Structure 1
Amino acid sequence: MREEAAQWVARLRSGVTEPAILASFEAWLTADPRHRVAFDEAARNYRIRSGELLDEPAGRYHWRAATLMAAAALLMLAGLLWRDRVDERHVITGKGDLRTIQLADGSDVTIDAETELDVRITPLSRSVTVQRGQALFRVAYESFRPFEVEADRIKARATGTEYAVALRPQEILVSVTEGTVDVRDEAGPSSEKLGATQLLTITRGSRIHALKRDLDARSVAWVRGKLDVDGQKLRDVIDEVNRYVDRPILISDSDIGDLPVSGVFDPRRPDNFLEALAQIRPITVERAADGSRRISRRR
């Protein structure tokens, strides 16, 4: 029985999606209550061997905790067997395209403009890979299947919480608005545990020991369709705005790119932002016939 359970764990972990195989698994699981216990034990052993769960001596693994874990896992599995078991998709958003999607496990993902990600939900795992851009994850709670977001070499894992992951050219940001998230560096042993209202910034190419600080509303203002900046360089702000507009905004004089910018604005209405900026900074804005805009120093 244990060997059968281990075989089922291995097959499901491999990403099997054939309806006939999943139906066979359902039939085996419900045929005998002992099958469910064996499956839970095999799944836990698999996670220990793969490093997803720290091992504990048998004497310290309290029978009540084991029973509760098994019950939670079985409740989760019972639900999985009666809904879409696999959710695999490749999502790309264009300029100015902010959208929210629901995953098969009940989680919601709000995806920012110019973002690309891959979703993979299976009976035994939940993962999203961010290829570029950023997204906010409202994770449905499941202790048995941690929800993992990968960006570059960083993996951010939670069982049920709300957090955002941003993959930028020079850095990776993990922002936690609710619950806790474990952030792990695949390149080494470095890891961090983030709590609610905490933000971790990792410079790409460096270890994970980077900047950990309190999160403020600015970091996730994009979810509301806003950019909230406080002293950022003009060139960086324009790079963000250009993700939302059809025609890029250009900076003619490189020295003005260092000008500090603060404020809250809608990046889909750049003219309002640029008009306000021209009143408080020494710049002029010219609009070409093709709709593009060019910022230069006021002479």
Structure 2
Amino acid sequence: MIAPDLRAIDEAAALWVQRMALPVQDSATAAAFDRWILDDPRHVESYARMAQLWQSDGLRQALLANDAPDTAFTAPHLPDAAHRLWRRAALLIPAVAAAMLLLIVAPPLLRDPLRYAAPAGAMHAVTLPDRSRVRLAPGAQIAVRITPWSRNVTLERGQAFFDVAHENVRGFAVDAGTAQVSVLGTAFDIDRLDGEAVVRVYRGTVSVAAGAGREWRLSAGSGIALRGGNAITIDGITGPHPDWADGWFDANNTPIRQLIAHLNRGAAVPVRLADPMLGELQVSGRFRLSDPDDALGAVAAIHDLKLRRDTHGVVLSR
């Protein structure tokens, strides 16, 4: 006989597995899940068992099989569909002992996030423990924490392209300061600038939260730029990955401060604006990031600006 408190934990774990298996999660749900899973070590154990059941071949076979009487198991009090699912899944509990291995690995992962960084002037590609692939722009840095129940990344600085390995249960979340992105499996790019975040989606669907109840759902080919309290949607995104991964910066009525930020990530000589307001001037075109002189020359010609060098680098001014 299962103790009442353990039965309640299993019921809650079953519901959380269902919720976390949705294509996208809102930030409130993700936060509530983190609180629940960390509240009691038994929550981790129960969730691991239920998650293993959810993804098991036996469960899929059970769901395809005809209904059969199974009075030996009393299912949790769940909605009808969930009730049937977990009543059948419970028959498979002896097959999930392997899930306990995850609990041995979890503690160090919780304590010590993995950090990856790209040096100035060079990109860096990494494969995460869950098989997701990340390409870091020059100077970018991420911190990664992957547990049996979640995959969380903090984009600490710079820009990164994420090709996320799809999983049915564990979501994949990226915190970029101004924006928080949640997915299950997709490909997207996040550019973290000073007080700004730009998200572009190349495959699948992502959920972007920006605090104060603001949230957007973006599909492939779209994006959003968040700066302060403003949000600007982006359309017409094409290709399998961002152009910076091939060494280009594509601008479409883009503030020149963004172009300069990208040039500075790989430039040997830093570029700065004599007047910060010049950064709001917009440019359109395709600029090679490895040739800052050519890019800055084009910007200066478009807006009738001047370029000069001093002991600290290149200055763009009126």
In structure 2, the residue matched to 1:97 is: 122
In structure 1, the residue matched to 2:225 is: 201
Pairwise CA RMSD: 4.5
Q: Residues of 2 paired with 1:261 and 1:95: CA distance? A: 25
Q: Would the alpha carbon gap of residues 272 and 127 (structure 1) be closer, same or farther in structure 2, given more than 3 Å must change?
A: same
Q: Would the alpha carbon gap of residues 154 and 57 (structure 1) be closer, same or farther in structure 2, given more than 3 Å must change?
A: farther
Q: Residues of 1 paired with 2:292 and 2:282: CA distance? A: 17
**Correspondent of 2:82 among 61, 77, 83:** 61
Q: Note if contact 1:176-1:215 (Cα within 8 Å) is conserved in structure 2.
A: no
Q: Counterpart amino acid of 2:150?
A: S
Q: Would the alpha carbon gap of residues 4 and 105 (structure 1) be closer, same or farther in structure 2, given more than 3 Å must change?
A: farther
Q: Note if contact 2:141-2:155 (Cα within 8 Å) is conserved in structure 1.
A: yes
**Correspondent of 2:49 among 39, 59, 77:** 39
What displacement does 1:4 show?
9.4
Q: Counterpart amino acid of 2:304?
A: P
Q: Note if contact 1:93-1:112 (Cα within 8 Å) is conserved in structure 2.
A: yes
What displacement does 1:162 show?
0.8
What displacement does 1:179 show?
0.8
In structure 2, the residue matched to 1:247 is: 269
Q: Residues of 1 paired with 2:47 and 2:184: CA distance? A: 21
What displacement does 1:66 show?
8.0
Q: Residues of 2 paired with 1:265 and 1:65: CA distance? A: 55
Q: Would the alpha carbon gap of residues 41 and 58 (structure 1) be closer, same or farther in structure 2, given more than 3 Å must change?
A: farther
Identify the structure with bigger relative contact order (alpha carbons < 8 Å, sequence gap 6+).
2
Q: Residues of 1 paired with 2:153 and 2:243: CA distance? A: 22
Q: For structure 2, which runs of at least 5 residues remain unmatched after alignment? A: 14-33, 55-76
Q: Note if contact 1:5-1:38 (Cα within 8 Å) is conserved in structure 2.
A: no
**Correspondent of 2:237 among 198, 211, 216:** 216
What displacement does 1:153 show?
5.9
In structure 1, the residue matched to 2:292 is: 270
**Correspondent of 1:227 among 249, 253, 265:** 249
* Local SS of the residue matching 1:119: strand
Q: Residues of 1 paired with 2:177 and 2:282: CA distance? A: 29
Matches within 5 A, 1:9-48: 13-14=37-38, 39-40=49-50
Q: Would the alpha carbon gap of residues 214 and 195 (structure 1) be closer, same or farther in structure 2, given more than 3 Å must change?
A: same
In structure 2, the residue matched to 1:110 is: 135
**Correspondent of 2:175 among 105, 126, 150:** 150
* Local SS of the residue matching 1:160: coil
Q: Counterpart amino acid of 2:204?
A: G
Matches within 5 A, 1:65-214: 86=109, 88-152=113-177, 154-185=179-210, 187-204=211-228, 206=229, 210-214=231-235
* Local SS of the residue matching 1:274: helix
Q: Residues of 1 paired with 2:272 and 2:48: CA distance? A: 62
How many residue pairs get aligned? The number is 262
* Local SS of the residue matching 2:266: coil
* Local SS of the residue matching 2:261: helix
Q: Counterpart amino acid of 2:153?
A: V
Q: Residues of 2 paired with 1:156 and 1:67: CA distance? A: 34
Q: Counterpart amino acid of 1:294?
A: V
With structure 1 as the length reference, what TM-score do the two structures score? 0.67
Q: Would the alpha carbon gap of residues 251 and 214 (structure 1) be closer, same or farther in structure 2, given more than 3 Å must change?
A: closer
Q: Would the alpha carbon gap of residues 263 and 92 (structure 1) be closer, same or farther in structure 2, given more than 3 Å must change?
A: same
Q: Note if contact 1:6-1:43 (Cα within 8 Å) is conserved in structure 2.
A: no
Q: Note if contact 1:244-1:267 (Cα within 8 Å) is conserved in structure 2.
A: yes
Q: Would the alpha carbon gap of residues 260 and 192 (structure 1) be closer, same or farther in structure 2, given more than 3 Å must change?
A: closer
Greater share of helix residues, 1 or 2?
A: 2
Q: Would the alpha carbon gap of residues 100 and 215 (structure 1) be closer, same or farther in structure 2, given more than 3 Å must change?
A: farther
Q: Residues of 1 paired with 2:289 and 2:80: CA distance? A: 58
* Local SS of the residue matching 1:100: strand
* Local SS of the residue matching 2:138: coil
Q: Residues of 2 paired with 1:248 and 1:41: CA distance? A: 49
Provide Cα deviations, 1:72-102, integer angstroms capped at 9, x if missing partner.
xx89x76x86xx8758312333432321110
Task: Indicate whether 1:295 and 2:316 are aligned.
Answer: yes
